[in-house]
Amino acid sequence: MKKILLLCIAVIMGAAFVVAGCGSNDTAKESSASGSGGEKVLKVATSADFAPFEFQGENDTDYQGFDMDLIRAIGKEMGTKVEINNISFDGLIPALQTGNIDAVITGMSINEEREKEVAFSDPYYESGLTIIVKADNNSINSFNDLQGKKIAVQIGTTGAEEAKKIPNAQVKELNSSADTFLELKAGNVDAVVNDKPVNAYYMTKNSDNSVKRVGEQLTSENYGIAVKKDNTKLVQEINDALKKLKENGEYNKIYKKWFGTEPSNN
């Protein structure tokens, strides 16, 4: 009887704890939005399907990758907690615009079209698009050879934009880059157009010799952290933190962890 009573008390206390936990969390978020007192929280969103920038391994509880380490380091510099939400790539800019989140870090290339909708931080990574095909494909050796071919891309990306410019190409827009690789391997498409470091990481990580990179890098793109268009204060804070991390070697450390080398210029 006594045991049951103790158990009941424990359960009730546990429940109260959970409720209190939720409550204080909400307060923290509100205070970040209003900027008044309490622990500040930076609400960040990413599309965690883009290794080595953002992904979740099978046994990981936290999101991993270059972007994830970088934004946590930026948050630390800014003295805020970082809360990471996983949203599909094409839903990220809308989520920023409705104000559900404060910032997006997701290997997002800075371009004019997006700059009409959001504000970007200073560039933090130099990238560009590359093509991968099956290892035994001898007909596609360059961007021009993609005419009339089936190409898999991730929906809403710069890769999708570029692929759509190719005459007579049949562009398959999929939800993630992982899906594009699967389509290629299954023989449903002739090529994948996607960011170079992600293609490279995929091939080395999976020691996948059934696919290969062909041709030159198609574009030169810079990744930036996006915030709501009018949030100039946050852009400034992020840029200041980024600058500090580049100066104090922390940026280089994170870069080396994920790419194995020091950045050539940053």
Chain residues binding ligand ARG by CB under 6 A are 47, 49-50, 54, 89, 106-109, 154, 157-158, 195, 221
- The residue (of 106 and 199) whose beta carbon lies closer to ligand ARG is 106
Type of residue found at 34: S
Type of residue found at 209: N
Instruction: Tokens for 70, please give them.
Output: 């970088």
Nearest-angstrom CA–CA distance, 259 and 243: 20
Residue 183 and residue 133 in contact, taking contact as beta carbons nearer than 8 Å: no
Cβ neighbours around 115 below 10 Å, total: 13
- The residue (of 69 and 195) whose beta carbon lies closer to ligand ARG is 195
Question: Minimal distance in Å, beta carbon 49 to ligand ARG?
Answer: 5
Burial class (CB in 10 A: 0-12, 13-18, 19+), 83: middle
- The residue (of 49 and 145) whose beta carbon lies closer to ligand ARG is 49
Question: Minimal distance in Å, beta carbon 223 to ligand ARG?
Answer: 7
- The residue (of 218 and 241) whose beta carbon lies closer to ligand ARG is 218
Question: Minimal distance in Å, beta carbon 55 to ligand ARG?
Answer: 9
> How many Cα atoms sit within 13 Å of 255 on the Cβ side?
16
Report which DSSP code applies to 245.
H
Burial 4-29 (b: 16+ CB within 10 A, else e): eeeeeeeeeeeeeeeeeeeeeeeebb
Question: Minimal distance in Å, beta carbon 216 to ligand ARG?
Answer: 17
Question: Minimal distance in Å, beta carbon 106 to ligand ARG?
Answer: 4
Instruction: Tokens for 169, please give them.
Output: 């190409």
- The residue (of 145 and 195) whose beta carbon lies closer to ligand ARG is 195
| Strand 221-223 relative to strand 150-154, pairing | unpaired
Question: Minimal distance in Å, beta carbon 231 to ligand ARG?
Answer: 20
- The residue (of 42 and 92) whose beta carbon lies closer to ligand ARG is 92
SS3 212: strand
Nearest-angstrom CA–CA distance, 84 and 56: 12
Which residue is listed with tokens 């946590």? 72
Question: Minimal distance in Å, beta carbon 214 to ligand ARG?
Answer: 19
- The residue (of 32 and 65) whose beta carbon lies closer to ligand ARG is 65
Residue 170 and residue 149 in contact, taking contact as beta carbons nearer than 8 Å: yes
